[in-house]
Copies of this chain bind each other. A is one copy, B any other.
Amino acid sequence: MYIGLPLKVTLKLTRAKVKSKITLKDIARELEVSISTVSKALKNSEEISRDTKEKIQAFAKLYNYRPNNIAISLKNKRTKNIGVVIPDIVHHFFTTVIRGIEKYANARGYNVIVCSSDESFDREVINMEMLANGSIDGFIMSLSSETQLKNDYNHLKEVTDQGIPVVLFDRITNEVECDKVIIDDLLGAYTATKKMIDQGRKKIGLITTADYLSVSKARTDGYQKALTEHGLEVDESRILKLSSMEMDEELIQDFFENSDIDALLTVNEIFAVYSMRLAQKKGMRIPEDMSFIGFTDGFLSQYAYPSLTVVAQHGIRMGEVAAQMLIEKVESEAEVETYQTKILEPTLVVRDSTIN
């Protein structure tokens, strides 16, 4: 049922000329020394004479010898791979986090294996099991919505029980003992809401998701806190709780038609940008008639018209911090583990959807 089916196929035949990878054994045979000597020579060991080392190193270079990672992993019981499991790879925030992870990890010689759970509990479990059997040294992950809904974290506990370090980011849980990185979602929502209050808005709406999503819960709390602290009552009719982060155009339209608001906070950028469109279609001017703030500083916010004021989550930074925490654990030999939760400060990026 796909559009975009193969249109043309061009073929070409070629005889394979496989000069497969050279191993220590090959070098040893060729140079009539033992495997151990070759191994040591290539590590520049003091044990081997200058002559022999030079000969072996030259030969290895000539034939472009590269040690086999798999063999080294088996021997060292260390893979230098980090497993990353995220709910959605087509989401700006998560991909910036991956970027941060890659940046830090690659610089330290680690590869990043990315799996997306697609917001599914089962896929999260399958992916983790797949990777946990030796493929990776540790996990960095953000929980799928289904996992947060089921509130079942046995797959995480199994992994940590095996001594595999885990760092949770953004969508976390208190049920698992491990390192965590989040932004202060409550503060972010609080700041955003306060910004709109300070601009004189009194009827501030919120589009969020059900409370089982840890981040939405915190953002909702921040929103309410800001209202309460500034003497505004929390009016449930101004809050739309979607069942997930998925776009639901109809519900948002309904909400927009039927609620009396002069400002809107949303837990992602799509909800906000879509709402702005609805407002514009109704002839409202932004930000004169209505203000908008979303979460996530992605392309959408940047290039929407008007551009959207957002709570930036600093995904790259979060990824770097997560990678740093994980690698530290992976490389540590400490008997006693200490788990940390790092809380990053969100930033309000002010654009044209709010009054300046």
- Contacts from A to B (Cβ < 8 Å): 2-21, 64, 66-71, 73-74, 79, 81, 89-90, 92, 95-96, 98-99, 102, 106, 111-116, 123, 126-127, 129-135, 158, 161-163, 177, 183-184, 270, 273-274, 276-277, 280, 298-300, 303-305, 312-314, 317-318, 321, 335-347
Q: What residues of chain B lie closer than 8 Å to A112, measured between beta carbons?
A: 113-115
In the bound complex, CA of A110 to CA of B347 (Å): 39
Known: A113-B112, A135-B111, A317-B2. A12 touches B339 (CB 8 A): yes
A71 to chain B minimum Cβ distance, whole angstroms, is 6
Give A110's nearest chain B residue, CB to CB: B130
* Contact indicator A6/B277 (Cβ below 8 Å): no
Q: What residues of chain B lie closer than 8 Å to A18, measured between beta carbons?
A: 161-163
Q: Which of B129, B270, B305 contacts A277 (CB 8 A)?
A: B305
A88 to chain B minimum Cβ distance, whole angstroms, is 9
Give A344's nearest chain B residue, CB to CB: B4
Known: A99-B89, A344-B7. A336 touches B15 (CB 8 A): yes
* Contact indicator B274/A68 (Cβ below 8 Å): no
Known: A115-B102, A133-B69. A20 touches B163 (CB 8 A): yes
Give A12's nearest chain B residue, CB to CB: B339
Q: What residues of chain B lie closer than 8 Å to A161, measured between beta carbons?
A: 17-19
In the bound complex, CA of A318 to CA of B8 (Å): 14
In the bound complex, CA of A74 to CA of B132 (Å): 17
In the bound complex, CA of A317 to CA of B95 (Å): 20
Q: What residues of chain B lie closer than 8 Å to A3, measured between beta carbons?
A: 312, 314, 317, 345, 347
Known: A300-B300, A305-B280. A162 touches B341 (CB 8 A): no
A3 to chain B minimum Cβ distance, whole angstroms, is 5
In the bound complex, CA of A11 to CA of B342 (Å): 9
28 A-B residue pairings within 8 Å (CB atoms): A3-B317, A4-B183, A4-B317, A4-B318, A6-B321, A7-B343, A9-B340, A9-B342, A10-B340, A13-B336, A13-B339, A15-B335, A16-B337, A18-B162, A19-B162, A19-B163, A66-B133, A68-B74, A70-B73, A70-B135, A81-B135, A89-B98, A111-B113, A111-B135, A273-B303, A280-B305, A299-B299, A304-B305
* Contact indicator A70/B79 (Cβ below 8 Å): yes
* Contact indicator B68/A335 (Cβ below 8 Å): no
* Contact indicator A133/B67 (Cβ below 8 Å): yes
In the bound complex, CA of A304 to CA of B16 (Å): 49
Q: What residues of chain B lie closer than 8 Å to A96, measured between beta carbons?
A: 90
In the bound complex, CA of A343 to CA of B340 (Å): 50
In the bound complex, CA of A164 to CA of B308 (Å): 46
Of A3, A9, A184, A346, most buried by chain B (CB within 10 Å of CB) is A3
Known: A4-B314, A9-B340, A102-B116. A134 touches B69 (CB 8 A): yes
